[in-house]
Structure 1
Amino acid sequence: MTTPVIELREVSRRYDDGPPALHEASLTVGRGEAVAILGPSGSGKSTLLNLIAGLDRPDTGTVTVDGVRVDRLGEAGSALYRRAKIGMVFQFFHLLDDLSVADNVVLPARLAGMARGAARHRAAELLELLGIDRHARAYPGRLSGGERQRVAVARALMNRPALLLADEPTGALDTAAGQDVSRLLAELNAEGQTIVVVTHDLALARSCTSRTVEIADGRITADLPAGTVAPAAPAVPAEGVR
C-alpha cells in the first residue's frame, strides 16, 4: 500500500432516530489511487463522502485525510481544510453563472490568498490542459454539459489538492459527455492525482478507477479491484430443503 491519503477507522454516523447512515466503516486509500464508492441511493456513500470532505462529523471513529484529523475540526478549520486539501466535482457542476469560465476556475485560489497573477496563470494552464482554454471568457450557461464539467474539474484542481472527490460526476451528462469526463478522470489519475468517485454507475467505476468499494445499508460490503464482481451471498435454503 502506498502512503495513505484517506484513513477511516470504525466510523459511524446516525441521523435522528433512524438506522445508521454509516456503521463502523473502515477504509484506507493510498496516494495515487483511484477508488470508486459504489452503492444505490440511501446506501451511505454520500455520508461517507461528506465525512471525508469535512462537511459532516462522525458520531464515532476517526477520519484522517493527508495527515489531518478531519473529525476533530471545527467549522472554520473544516473550511480551511477543504480549501487546502480537497477538490470537489459535483453532479450539477455548481458553477457561478455570472462569472466567466476563467473567473470560476480562479475563485478557489483567490479565496486561498494566491496572488492574482499567479492564480490567472494557474487557471490558464488548467484550462489548456483540459482542452477548454478557448472558452476562458465565456459564461458557463453557453457551454455544453461536458464542457461545464471540465470547468468544474479545473476549479477543483486549482489549489493542487491532495484528494479529488467526484460525486456522481457524469450523472447529469449524456453518454458521450459522460465518457469524455470518465477519460479525463482516468488521465488525471495516471498523472498521480488521488481520486475518489462516488457513484451508482458501474461502467464509470470500471472506466476510470482501479478499485471499487461497495456500500449497502451503511456498511462496506466489498473492496475489490475495479470490474470484479463481488460474490453473491449464499442462498438461504427454503424450509424443508437440505
Structure 2
Amino acid sequence: MTTPVIELRDVSRRYDGGPPALHEASLTVRPGEAVAILGPSGSGKSTLLNLIAGLDRPDAGTVTVDGVRVDGLGEAASAKYRRTRIGMVFQFFNLLDDLTVADNVALPALLAGTARAEARRRTAELLASLGVARHADAYPGRLSGGERQRVAVARALVNRPALLLADEPTGALDTTSGEDVSKLLAELNADGQTVVVVTHDLALARSCTNRTIRIVDGHVTEENR
C-alpha cells in the first residue's frame, strides 16, 4: 500500500477558549488523489488548510505530509517544508507585482537553492505547459485574472511538490476563467499531481476532484459522490 501524502490523526484545534475549530479530525489522502474540502465560512476548513501547510499547529493529534511530521516542525523547518513539499494557490494570486511573470515563478526554486539555470528551465517549461509562456516578461498587473492564476499554479509547481493545495482558487475569477482554472486542476491531477482544493463551491469540487470531505463545526466527514 502506498504511503499517504496527507495523514491527520485525531487532530483538534481551539482558539482563545472558544469552541473547537477542529475536533478529533482524521484524514488520509493518497498519492494521485484529487480531494475537495468543503464547508461554509467558520466550519474549520481554513484551520485544516493551515495545519496541512504548517502555518498552524494542532492542540492534539498529528499531521504528517509526504512523510514529514509537520506538527513538530520549528519555524525554519516549516518554511523549508512549504518550499519543497507543497505548492499553494490562493484566491487572490499573491503574485509580486514588481517581478515579471518568469521571476515570480522562478523565485520559490531559487529560495530552495535550485541553480538559476535549472530554475529558469523549469519556469519556461511550466509557463509553456500552462499556456502563458507569451507573458514570461510581462508584469502580473497586465494579465487577466485567469492568466494570473495560471502563473500562480506554475509558481506552486516549480519545486515539484508532492501536494498542491488550492484555497478557493476560482473565488476571484469570472465564470469563464473559473472554469478554465478548474479544468487545469483536473488536468494536473490526471497527470498524477495530488491536489487538495479547499472551497465552499460544490460545482468546483465536482468539476476537478473525485472525492469530497465535508467539514461542519470542526467535524470532518467523508461525503459520497
TM-score tier after normalising by the smaller chain length: over 0.9
In the alignment, structure 1 residue 89 sits paired with structure 2 residue 89: yes
SS in 2 for 1:197: strand
Q: Corresponding residue for 1:33?
A: 33
1:12-51 equivalent positions in 2, closer than 5 A: 12-51=12-51
TM-score, length of structure 2 as denominator length:
0.99
Amino acid at match of 1:133: A
Q: Name 1:65's counterpart in structure 2.
A: 65
Look up the SS of the partner of 1:21 in the other structure. Answer: strand
2:139 aligned partner: 139
CA distance in 2, matches of 1:116, 1:8: 36
Written as runs of structure 1 = structure 2, the 5 A alignment for 1:37-186 is 37-186=37-186
**Residue type matched to 2:32 in 1?**
G
Deviation of the 1:2 alpha carbon: 4.3
Q: Secondary structure at the match of 2:177?
A: helix
Secondary structure, counterpart of 1:56 in structure 2: coil
Give the number of the structure whose alpha-carbon radius of gyration is greater. 1
Q: Deviations over 1:201-241 (max 9, x none)?
A: 00000000000000000111x3134xx2xxxxxxxxxxxxx
| TM-score using structure 1 length | 0.92
1:124 and 1:50 mapped to 2: Cα distance? 30
Quote the offset at 1:3 in angstroms: 3.0
In the alignment, what sits opposite 1:224? Answer: 223
Equivalent pairs: percent with the same residue? 81
1:8-42, Cα deviation, whole Å (9 max, x unpaired): 00000000011011110000000000000000000
Question: Which whole-Å CA distance do the structure 1 matches of 2:199 and 2:3 have between them?
Answer: 25
The ranges of structure 1 where at least 4 consecutive aligned residues each deviate by more than 3 angstroms after the TM superposition are none
Matched residue type, 1:39:
G
Letter in 2 for 1:62: T
1:150-179 deviation line (CA, Å, top 9, x unaligned): 000000000000000000000000000000
What is the alpha-carbon distance in structure 2 between the residues aligned to residue 130 and residue 62 of structure 1? 35
- Unpaired runs of 5+ in structure 2? none
Point out where structure 1 has 5 or more consecutive residues left out of the alignment.
229-242
Kindly state the Cα deviation for residue 66 of structure 1 after the two structures are TM-superposed: 0.6
